[in-house]
């Protein structure tokens, strides 16, 4: 199948055993998180050859993430465990109404040891698409250079690039983020963004502003995700729209990453625009029905059955 490469930090995520303010939560369950890793897992479950480039702490938690990724069938040949840097952590608080907050402990993230020279042409052997997110760039200024080097290499080799801004205002300001995105957009073919995010970036989310953005940066697919309202894409001078699937969401974290994986899978397999949105909406919806950032990422057969509304035989 097709090969996809992504680059980014991963964290150990602690999910609270009870809802309410974190100071009153006595126990947590240990999980694995990180936008780009979620994407890599999503791609691997759909059957793509999924390569994830990262640095993890040379500690016990680093090994947890490494083994988890390997267990999912991800190519971890470009993941290194770095001594002296603790693996990043993140604790979640979930309120009674299901809304959440995140507390990061990622001051000396092992990903800070990556240098532009770590990005090599040979990394892109067998790769048909490069996917990046704004989280990696938000962690450190140097990461913008690393990102750019990878994008320039991909462009030179005619490998399409997808990008999800994944704004993290706990890591940088909207002004810093927007400046970095503007630097990156000229290299991007497929922009996958939340409606609220593109509104923050452009200061305007009317279709006219979105079309202008796509034209200005020569973005061939501008995909707008809008939670329970579904998604739309501007491509080939047309808008295509698809409603979300009706589900009862339990935990929406990771739905956007799953959507991205679904969109990229169907893009590489040359689905029509409406089918790409339907497939990606299917993956996103399934992710929301399971607690955890990546536990709900479906296998290919599950998405196809869900979209076709097949009955699942459980026993
Ligand atoms: P995040 O990065 O926080 O996961 P995002 O803004 O990138 O979020 P959303 O727009 O919240 O992504 O969700 C992505 C996709 O997941 C939606 O476009 C939709 O297909 C699916 N989805 C999300 N929430 C729901 C829901 N309540 N019901 C059905 N589908 C949903």
Is 231 in a helix, a strand, or coil? strand
Residue 54: Cβ within 10 Å count = 26
Task: Set out the domains of the chain in order of their start, with CATH numbers.
Answer: 3-8+34-79+115-308 (3.40.1190.20)
Mutating to test ligand 1, I would choose from 8, 36, 199, 227 the residue with most ligand atoms within 8 A of its C-beta, which is 227
The ligand 1 site (C-beta within 6 Å) comprises: 166, 194, 225-228, 230-231, 244-245, 247, 249, 252-257, 259, 281, 284-285, 288
Question: Residue 241 burial by CB count (10 A; 0-12/13-18/19+): exposed, middle or buried?
Answer: middle
Say how far apart CA 64 and CA 142 lie, in whole Å: 27
How remote is the CA of residue 256 from the centroid of ligand 1, in Å? 5
Residue closest via CA to ligand 1's atom 14 equals 256
Alpha helix stretches (DSSP H) within 72-173: 134-139, 142-156
For residue 115, what are the contacts with CB-CB under 8 A and spacing of at least 6?
A: 142, 146
pLDDT digits (tens, 9 = 90+) for 108-122: 889 999 999 999 999
The partner residues of 191 in beta bridges, in order of sequence, read 163, 222
Mutating to test ligand 1, I would choose from 255, 262, 280, 296 the residue with most ligand atoms within 8 A of its C-beta, which is 255
Task: Answer yes or no: are the C-beta atoms of 138 and 172 closer than 8 Å.
Answer: yes
How remote is the CA of residue 259 from the centroid of ligand 1, in Å? 7
How remote is the CA of residue 292 from the centroid of ligand 1, in Å? 14
Digits of tens for pLDDT over the chain (315 positions)?
999 999 999 999 999 999 999 999 999 999 999 999 999 999 999 999 999 999 999 999 999 999 999 999 999 999 999 999 999 999 999 888 767 888 989 878 899 999 999 999 999 999 999 999 999 999 999 999 999 999 999 999 999 999 999 999 988 999 999 999 999 999 999 999 999 999 999 999 999 999 999 999 999 999 999 999 999 999 999 999 999 999 999 888 899 999 999 999 999 999 999 999 999 999 999 999 998 889 999 999 999 999 998 766 666
Q: How far is CA 83 from the centre of its chain?
A: 26
pLDDT digits (tens, 9 = 90+) for 4-46: 999 999 999 999 999 999 999 999 999 999 999 999 999 999 9
């Amino acid at each position: 199948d097709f090969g996809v490469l992504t680059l980014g930090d991963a964290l150990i995520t602690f999910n609270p055993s009870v809802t309410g303010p974190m100071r009153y939560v006595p126990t947590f369950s240990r999980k694995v998180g990180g936008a780009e890793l979620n994407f890599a897992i999503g791609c691997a479950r759909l059957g793509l050859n999924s390569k994830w480039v990262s640095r993890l702490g040379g500690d016990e938690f680093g090994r947890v993430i490494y083994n988890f990724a390997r267990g999912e069938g991800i190519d971890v040949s470009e993941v290194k465990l770095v001594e002296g840097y603790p693996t990043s952590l993140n604790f979640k608080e979930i309120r009674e109404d299901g809304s959440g907050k995140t507390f990061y402990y990622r001051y000396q993230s092992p990903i800070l040891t990556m240098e532009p020279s770590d990005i090599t042409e040979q990394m892109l052997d067998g790769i048909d698409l490069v996917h990046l997110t704004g989280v990696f760039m938000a962690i450190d200024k140097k990461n913008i250079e690393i990102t750019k080097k990878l994008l320039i290499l991909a462009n030179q080799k005619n490998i399409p690039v997808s990008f999800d801004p994944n704004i993290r205002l706990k890591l940088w300001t909207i002004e810093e983020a927007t400046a970095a995105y503007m630097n990156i957009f000229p290299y991007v073919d497929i922009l996958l963004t939340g409606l609220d995010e593109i509104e923050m970036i452009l200061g305007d989310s009317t279709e006219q502003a979105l079309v202008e953005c796509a034209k200005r940066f020569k973005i061939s697919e501008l995909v707008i995700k809008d939670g329970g309202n579904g998604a739309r894409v501007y491509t080939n001078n047309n808008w295509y729209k698809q409603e979300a699937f009706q589900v009862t969401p339990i935990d929406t974290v990771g739905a956007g990453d799953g959507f991205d994986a679904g969109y990229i899978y169907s893009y590489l397999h040359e689905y029509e625009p409406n089918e790409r949105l339907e497939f990606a909406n299917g993956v996103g919806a399934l992710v929301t029905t399971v607690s955890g950032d990546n536990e709900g990422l479906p296998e290919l057969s599950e998405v196809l059955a869900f979209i076709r509304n097949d009955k699942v035989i459980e026993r």
